[in-house]
Structure 1
Amino acid sequence: MSVLAMALLALAVEPASVPAGCEADSPVRDPQVCEPLYSGPDITIYSFESVAVGSVAEMKRIREMTQHCGLSNRIDGVGGMDLAVYDIVDATNESRACVRDWIEENVPDLSFSEERFNEKFESLASQGK
């Protein structure tokens, strides 16, 4: 099972009493207070947030242009299409704001939302890409 799949599974199986700010979908979760979403031999994930959606090349450009923000990230391709989601991992308030502000200022049409993702996915699927 991939790390992404395990993190998403953790989102679905959240315990009933979670400290404030430790909800699985919180974009910034304090490691001093919150349990990790995933903890394995090579990686521990406290927060995971999709912040952009577009082509693989667009996501690579965002990665390149936000290196200075200082946080872990990943580009997740979608089903063999030229569609990818840019995810940030274990963000602080500052690093999250840095990435999200850069996207909003430079490529706002790539900001992630479920609606944008679905729209781009359906558009590419209908074109057979």
Structure 2
Amino acid sequence: MKLLSLTLLFLLFTSCGDSPFSGGLKELVSGVDNISNEIRFDTEALTILRQWNKGPIVYDSSTLTITFKDSANNLKDPAGEFSAYIWMPDMGHGSYPITVTRIATGVYQLTDIYFTMGGLWDFHLQLKDNGNLYDSISWPLTL
């Protein structure tokens, strides 16, 4: 059991490259979020606007503002529970939970977005009702 624990601990620290939290990395890496098509939550007919306040960057916290507008271009909150996460499909892992804070009607601040390494990431936004997913949108980011 001790050998298994040590092996798993070793794999955890060596499997995906240098950790940005080990103190050995010095240079921040900026990413590209160049999706040009409109993104929407179709079930609620909400257009999603994105504004990076900081980032996307590797090795530091990024911050993103998400704004929801209805078909009349009015700010509107989604009816469901709004959440977000990032996933690195080539590596099969995500990152820390993203903090979502409602700033005003239809405006949400996403903080604690940690891209832990360079490469292809998928940014996911979701709507849930009592924990059940009913709408989702994602777009790729390259860092």
Interval containing the TM-score (normalised by the shorter chain): 0.3 to 0.5
Q: Please state which structure has a larger fraction of its residues in strand.
A: 2
Q: Please state which structure has a larger fraction of its residues in helix.
A: 1
TM-score by length of 2: 0.30
Higher-Rg structure is: 2
TM-score by length of 1: 0.32
